[in-house]
Amino acid sequence: MTLRKALYALALFLTPALAFAHPGHDASGLAAGIAHPITGLDHLLAMLAVGLWAAQQQGAARWALPLTFVGTMLLGGLLGFEGLELPFMETGIAASVLALGLLVAVAVRPPVSVAVGLTALFALAHGVAHGLELPELSSPWGYAAGFVAATAALHAAGYGLVRALPQAAAPLVRIAGGASALAGAWLLAG
């Protein structure tokens, strides 16, 4: 798959959310759930970075990182629906952008258990934030389905981008990780 095809596929996936851009059209919450991870810079960068980082891994870590993020984020979302708030949640989300960006920039390959643990920690903060921001009058299940689908698509986009690029382009992925880390540092400072 070429980079152009991957970007077209991502654009096609995101297009349905544009049709529901105005309030009152989404009682199911699906469009709001899709939009949440895509429209928040912190969520967008972290979720793309998980896909980038997964593609830099070998073996089981390639699928374990995105699956762990999605599963733990959903658990966090359910906790958020119940009103659970984590201390320093927003700081943790910004720190996840910084940390995941650095992990991509350095292309680190820790043991799978360490990588999964870090991924789960970051995903929990993102999930609770998603759950706490459930739009009024929206179905929590439709909203959850939306943010899970958007997150999985962002992971797939990051992963697919790395896998579609020739090996000679690996420095570009690391530069993207560094840019994400800088954005995370900016978010932490703000």
What does the pLDDT look like over 1-58, one tens digit per residue? 566 666 556 555 555 544 444 444 556 889 999 998 999 999 999 999 999 999 999 9
Contact 50, 119 (CB under 8 A): yes
Instruction: Kindly state whether residue 9 falls inside one of the protein's structural domains.
Output: no
Instruction: Kindly state whether residue 170 falls inside one of the protein's structural domains.
Output: yes
Contact 109, 55 (CB under 8 A): no
Residue 84 belongs to domain spanning:
28-189
Instruction: Kindly state whether residue 165 falls inside one of the protein's structural domains.
Output: yes
Instruction: Kindly state whether residue 171 falls inside one of the protein's structural domains.
Output: yes
Instruction: Kindly state whether residue 140 falls inside one of the protein's structural domains.
Output: yes
**23-61 as b/e, with b when 16 or more CB fall inside 10 Å?**
eeebebbbbbbbbbbbebebbbbbbbbbbbbbbbbeeeb
Number of domains in the chain: 1
Contact 126, 43 (CB under 8 A): yes
The terminus-to-terminus CA distance of the chain in angstroms comes to 38
User: What pLDDT does 91 receive?
Assistant: 94
Q: What is the overall mean pLDDT for the chain?
A: 88
The angle at the Cα of 128, spanning 127 to 132, to the nearest 5 degrees, equals 120
Average pLDDT rounded to a whole number, residues 87-110: 95
Instruction: Kindly state whether residue 23 falls inside one of the protein's structural domains.
Output: no
Rounded Cα distance between 104 and 89, Å, is: 22
Instruction: Kindly state whether residue 14 falls inside one of the protein's structural domains.
Output: no
The angle at the Cα of 110, spanning 105 to 115, to the nearest 5 degrees, equals 90
Rounded Cα distance between 137 and 139, Å, is: 7
Report how far apart, in Å, the C-alpha atoms of 49 and of each of 2, 60, 114, 131, 145 are: 19, 18, 17, 21, 21
Q: Which two tokens stand for residue 50?
A: 């998980």
**pLDDT, tens only, 45-92:** 999 999 999 999 999 999 999 999 999 999 999 999 999 999 899 999
- The tally of CA atoms less than 13 A away on the side-chain side of residue 133 is 16
Instruction: Kindly state whether residue 147 falls inside one of the protein's structural domains.
Output: yes
User: What pLDDT does 14 receive?
Assistant: 56
